[in-house]
Amino acid sequence: MAEAPTNLNELFMHTLKDVYYAENQITKALPKMAAKATSAELRKGFETHLTETKQQIKRLEQVFKLCGEKPSGEKCPAIEGILEEGAELMSEIKPGETLDAAMIAAAQAVEHYEIARYGALVAWAKELGMTDARNLLRDTLGEEKDTDSKLNRLAEDKLNKKAA
């Protein structure tokens, strides 16, 4: 950690850098996941989420600007671990229905990580009276929840049945 936060404002900034790092790592992972997908629908899902993630990074940059700070990331062991686990599955399972089911679950772990982080940021921004930042972060939180629901439906309605 660069500097230990001593108040909620600094904790907000620390977490903002954490999630900025995470989103940038995710943009590197998603094309690899898309390339390994057997289901065309899953591949398209990863590609769409990549576009969304790039938009979410722009929103984070706006939040940095609102806080009078330059965008910067802070290495975050949580997202590294989550993505490492997904990469391990991708390197060991042969492409096909089982890997598709594994990748969708790995993507949902990423989504849930982001839901937790953006959820905290939205709550803290509210407490700190940062209305504009809160609105931007809330837009992303909503998108992450939608992506998780879409992945759920794709898994339950289609991909798990193929894998079973």
Which of 35, 95, 116, 149 binds a copy of itself (CB under 8 A)? It is: 116
| Residue closer to a copy of itself (CB basis): 10 or 58 | 10
Among 25, 37, 113, 143, binds a copy of itself (CB under 8 A): 113
Structure tokens given for 128: 């700190």
97 touching a copy of itself, by CB under 8 A: yes
Q: Verify binding: residue 30, a copy of itself, rule CB under 8 A.
A: no
Q: Which residues contact 132 (CB under 8 A, 6 or more apart)?
A: 66
Position among 57, 66, 67, 163 found at the interface with a copy of itself (CB under 8 A): 163
Could you tell me which of 79, 77, 76, 74 has the C-alpha nearest to residue 64?
Answer: 74
Residue type, 125: A
Q: How many Cβ atoms sit within 10 Å of the Cβ of residue 36?
A: 21
* Of the residues 26, 79, 136, 137, which one makes contact with a copy of itself according to CB under 8 A: 79
Residue position matching structure tokens 């850098």: 17
Among 148, 98, 84, 93, residue whose Cα is nearest residue 118? 148
Distance CA 70, CA 87 (A): 31
The answer to whether 22 contacts a copy of itself (rule: CB under 8 A) is no
Cβ closest to a copy of itself, residue 68 vs residue 92: 92
Nearer CB in complex with a copy of itself: 58/152: 152
Q: Is 137 in the site for a copy of itself (CB under 8 A)?
A: no
Residue 67 in contact with a copy of itself, rule: CB under 8 A: no
**Count of positions on this chain that bind a copy of itself (CB under 8 A):** 52
Q: Dig out the tokens for 103 from the structure.
A: 């990748």
Smallest distance, Å, CB 55 to a copy of itself? 22
Judged by CB, which is closer to a copy of itself: 61, or 97? Answer: 97
- Cβ atoms of 81 and 62 closer than 8 Å: no
